Structure 1
Amino acid sequence: MNKVYAIIGPPASGKTSIVKKLREYGIPVLISHTTRPPKPDEKDGVDYYFVDKQTFEKMNFIEMVNYAEQLYGLTKEEVLKKANIHPVSVVDIDLSGFEKLKKLLGDRLELIYNFVDQDTIINRYLLQGEDYATIKHRIEYAEANGEFNNWEVADYVVKNSGPLIVTVRQILAIMDLVSLKIPE
């Protein structure tokens, strides 16, 4: 049975970095649509499908969010196309989106919670040049929305506080694509 693995976690937990690395290893990614303009290093059809608001509003979304006055959404077509063709695929999504995907995919969807402690999150934001007020706001928002407790409903929990490759290998092992066994 084909599986879709949803990666969730608090902000700055490394979800995007994990998904990019999994893509590099050939794991298909469910790609969301957005109305925001692409960042300089982003590519249409790889990071997001970049569309205008009029186009976005005509699409059939499984889940949709308005974040910082930009729209983001995952279409039913994108989900079914990848889930039906590929033995394994991955999506970076929030818990609400996961619950909507679960209704569509049932047992073909599994949840991986990407655990990171708040000190690591703060340090990552500081390295990105964020100011303390913004960091405080983002953490308070995540706490208010239970993003630090979503591990309780996850099928799997990985800790992403060390090298990224360690977390990626844990996820590949969950997907049964690599072994974490140490040879004797």
Structure 2
Amino acid sequence: MAKRVIVLMGPAGAGKSSVASYIKERFGIPQVITHTTRAMRQGEEDNVDYYFEDDQSFDQKHFLEEVNYGGHRYGSSMEGLERAWSRNDLASIVLDTKGGETYQEILHDQAWLWYVTVSKVEELEKRLVARGDAKQAIEKRLSSAEFKRDLSLPDSLKNKAVVIENDDWTTTKRQIDGLIQGTFGN
């Protein structure tokens, strides 16, 4: 089987991380670990939650995409993707839609695009509150240009991405099982 990466995109609160966790537990599909220059938070582990870098080590990686957020650098590298592929020919990564476009441009058919969304936008705010995000952080996120951009699938990815409407977790898991089993027969 050719090596592929499931690119999980969608707005905050849609359930991208839940999907990544589910396919890791159910199918053994590892998640690509990304890089950051921010300090490690309590409970985080290097090489598990992120590859924690300084500016010099960050500059030595071969990034597929990178962003600067809050004065810190974040990115996904070919090195991280290759490490995930060394464990399984199929890996996953959570990105924004801009990152998804970049993966599509660089990896072509190796990027299996999944756009995770919900039918009602109001549900996203409820989920952010339920997961414990601070009220001020939620308001900032919901008004951001990135959040608004990720509310819909970019035209460049239409007819290329699988759309998963995550309104009901049981239905979502069934759809995911069908996608993976239908493609790989696991």
Q: Same fold (TM over 0.5)?
A: yes
Q: Say whether 1:130 aligns with 2:134.
A: yes
Question: How high is the sequence identity, in percent, across the aligned residues?
Answer: 29
Ranges in structure 2 where 5+ consecutive residues have no aligned partner: none
Paired residues for 1:17-36 under 5 Å: 17-25=18-26, 26-36=28-38
Q: Distance in 1 between matches of 2:61 and 2:31?
A: 19
**Structure 1: 5+ residue stretches without partners:** 180-184
Deviates more, 1:25-34 or 1:40-49: 40-49
Residues 103-112 or 148-157, more deviating:
148-157
Which range moved further: 93-102 or 108-117? 93-102
**Counterpart check, 1:160 vs 2:166:** yes
Residues in 1 aligned to 2:22 and 2:54: alpha-carbon distance in whole angstroms: 28
Q: 1:147 aligns with which of 134, 143, 150?
A: 150
Tell me which residue corresponds to 2:13: 12
How much has 1:124 moved relative to structure 2?
Answer: 1.8
* Deviations, residues 86-113 of structure 1 (Å, cap 9, x unaligned): 3321111122222222233211212111
CA contact (8 A) 2:142 2:148 kept: no
In 1: Cα distance, 2:19 partner to 2:43 partner: 16
Match of 2:47 among 42, 45, 48: 45
**Distance in 1 of aligned mates of 2:86 and 2:98:** 22
Q: Distance in 1 between matches of 2:146 and 2:64?
A: 25
How many residues are aligned here? 177
1:63 deviation in Å? Answer: 0.6
Read off the aligned partner of 2:4 and give its amino acid letter: K
Contact 2:7 2:92 in 1 (8 A): yes
The structure-2 alpha-carbon separation of the partners of 1:44 and 1:89, relative to structure 1 and needing over 3 Å to count, comes to same
Matched, 1:174 2:151: no
Shift of 1:15: 1.4
Partner of 2:108: 106
The runs of at least 4 aligned residues of structure 1 exceeding 4 Å deviation read 142-145
- Structure 1 residues 109 and 147: CA distance shift in structure 2, 3 A: same
Alpha-carbon distance, 1:83 to partner: 4.4
TM-score by length of 1: 0.80
Partner deviation per Cα, 1:132-169 (whole Å, 9 max, x = no partner) = x4323312215675211117625211122333x54244
- Report if aligned partners of 1:142, 1:148 keep a CA contact under 8 Å in 2: no
Paired residue for 2:92, among 90, 93, 99?
90
User: Are the counterparts in 1 of residues 12 and 147 from structure 2 also a CA contact under 8 Å?
Assistant: no
CA RMSD of aligned residues (A): 2.7
Q: Is the 8 A contact 1:169 1:178 kept in 2?
A: no
User: Which whole-Å CA distance do the structure 1 matches of 2:124 and 2:87 have between them?
Assistant: 35
Matched residue of 2:149: which SS? coil
> SS at the partner of 1:167?
helix
